[in-house]
């Protein structure tokens, strides 16, 4: 399996502007609705398709999902809603989208540790995202021409869509991209009739000669004034979020929380300040501990009783008596151990400069 960084970049090809212009001319938009691009890239194509139809009476709300952070940031400036996340992590309302633009990466899905195989993205994204499209909603599906010959893809398209169109990029872009466009409306109801003629047609698209001879370029559909209907629908998705938490969403909340402030106050280094009289008189043992810990280092007393004091705790490793263990076979094992011994060193300097070590 390739590195994740390569997976993010692999297979990303934005739809050329010219093909977007042709697609716009093929749409007959009935009214407001939600339009979705689940692999949005920089959001250019979905914005290009929706913009000509925006009006006071027709409000198209553009939703997108994009895995790459840089592309997602650009898409967020063009789309009404765009989440930077893998589409696999998304929770999206079913049967709600009026137009689904689907141009998935041309790559394999990432294989898990327990998976026997990895599916192609063209198939998994088609199967996954069709559920979000409402009945009679329009899907535009853009993939390399030969991928339509995949029997799962061909059978799915021949079963779930009607009023279909199969076209390739116009001559200006086809040689560079080798992509074809499937366009069709989603069938209604549970029982759907299988279109065997369409299935047989798609299964032959792995032949370059077949595509060039039998698949019409998109500009000819435009010249023939062929259009596909985009139905009206919801203007807002009830559910549209990722199950993956983004840590940046929590930064401000954590910083301003009382618990975090209390933690910061408790974790700050504290300075022990000695001054004034203690609340209770110190006995000799307590004073010794303060001296040994260095808590009263510095100046003490006045006049003839003025001294400089330094306390220090010294840790030493002292060997303990060897321990002899008798094993099950009668042999003996000697275990050597050490213990920590703590000693206190307290020194003072008198006003005359005399240094004395008390301990």
d(CA 73, CA 197): 43
Where residue 246 falls among pLDDT bands split at 50, 70, 90?
Answer: low
CB 181 within 8 A of CB 23: yes
Res 244: pLDDT: 85
Given a cut of 50, whether residue 168 has pLDDT beyond it is yes
Domain boundaries, the chain: 4-244, 284-357
pTM of the model: 0.67
For the stretch 322-343, pLDDT in tens is 777 788 877 888 877 788 877 7
What is the arithmetic mean of pLDDT over 241-262?
Answer: 76
Given a cut of 80, whether residue 143 has pLDDT beyond it is yes
What is the arithmetic mean of pLDDT over 145-163?
Answer: 97
Res 11: pLDDT: 52
The region of weakest confidence among 139-143, 226-230, 330-334 is 330-334
pLDDT over 70, % of the chain? 82
Given a cut of 70, whether residue 24 has pLDDT beyond it is yes
Which element (helix H / strand E) includes 242? strand 240-242
Res 114: pLDDT: 41
Residue 64 CB contacts under 8 Å (≥ 6 apart), including other chains:
36, 37, 38, 40, 43, 46, 75, 79, 81, 82, 83
CATH number at 4-244: 3.40.50.150
d(CA 87, CA 64): 10
Dihedral, CA of residue 159, residue 161, residue 162 and residue 168, to nearest 10: -110
Which element (helix H / strand E) includes 64? strand 60-66
What is the arithmetic mean of pLDDT over 23-46?
Answer: 97
pLDDT over 90, % of the chain? 58
Dihedral, CA of residue 138, residue 142, residue 148 and residue 151, to nearest 10: -60
d(CA 120, CA 139): 19
With 0-12 / 13-18 / 19 or more C-beta atoms within 10 angstroms meaning exposed / middle / buried, residue 106 is middle
Res 198: pLDDT: 97
Given a cut of 90, whether residue 127 has pLDDT beyond it is yes
Q: Is pLDDT larger for residue 134 or for residue 341?
A: 134
Where residue 1 falls among pLDDT bands split at 50, 70, 90?
Answer: very low
Res 3: pLDDT: 39
For the stretch 58-107, pLDDT in tens is 999 999 999 999 999 999 999 999 999 999 999 999 999 999 999 998 76
For the stretch 282-322, pLDDT in tens is 565 666 666 666 666 667 777 777 777 777 777 778 887 77
Please provide the size of the chain in residues: 359
CB 181 within 8 A of CB 167: yes
How far, in Å, are 14, 121, 350 from residue 251 at the CA level?
Answer: 34, 34, 56
Res 10: pLDDT: 45
């Amino acid at each position: 399996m390739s590195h994740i960084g390569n997976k993010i970049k692999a297979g990303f090809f934005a739809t050329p502007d010219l093909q977007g212009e042709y697609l716009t001319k093929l749409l007959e938009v009935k009214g407001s609705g939600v339009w979705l691009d689940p692999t949005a890239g920089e959001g250019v194509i979905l914005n290009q398709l929706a913009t000509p139809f925006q009006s006071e009476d027709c409000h198209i709300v553009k939703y997108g999902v994009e895995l790459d952070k840089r592309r997602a940031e650009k898409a967020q400036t063009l789309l009404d809603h765009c989440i930077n996340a893998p589409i696999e992590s998304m929770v999206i309302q079913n049967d709600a989208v009026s137009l689904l633009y689907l141009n998935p990466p041309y790559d394999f899905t990432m294989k898990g540790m327990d998976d026997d195989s990895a599916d192609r993205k063209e198939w998994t994204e088609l199967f996954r995202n069709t559920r979000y499209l409402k009945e009679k909603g329009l899907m535009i599906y853009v993939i390399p021409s030969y991928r339509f010959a995949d029997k799962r893809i061909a059978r799915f398209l021949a079963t779930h869509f009607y009023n279909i169109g199969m076209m390739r990029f116009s001559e200006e872009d086809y040689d560079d991209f080798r992509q074809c466009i499937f366009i069709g409306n989603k069938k209604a109801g549970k029982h759907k009739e299988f279109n065997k003629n369409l299935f047989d047609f798609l299964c032959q698209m792995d032949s370059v000669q077949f595509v060039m001879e039998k698949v019409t370029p998109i500009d000819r559909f435009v010249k023939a004034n062929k259009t596909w209907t985009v139905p009206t629908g919801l203007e807002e998705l009830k559910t549209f979020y990722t199950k993956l938490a983004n840590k940046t969403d929590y930064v401000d909340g954590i910083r301003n929380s009382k618990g975090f402030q209390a933690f910061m106050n408790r974790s700050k280094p504290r300075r022990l300040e000695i001054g004034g009289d203690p609340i209770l008189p110190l006995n000799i043992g307590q004073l010794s501990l303060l001296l040994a810990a260095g808590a009263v280092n510095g100046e003490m007393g006045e006049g003839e009783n003025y001294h400089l004091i330094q306390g220090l705790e010294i840790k030493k490793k002292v060997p303990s008596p060897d321990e002899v263990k008798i094993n099950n076979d009668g042999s003996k094992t000697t275990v050597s151990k050490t213990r920590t011994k703590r000693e206190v060193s307290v020194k003072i300097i008198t006003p005359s400069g005399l240094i004395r070590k008390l301990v």
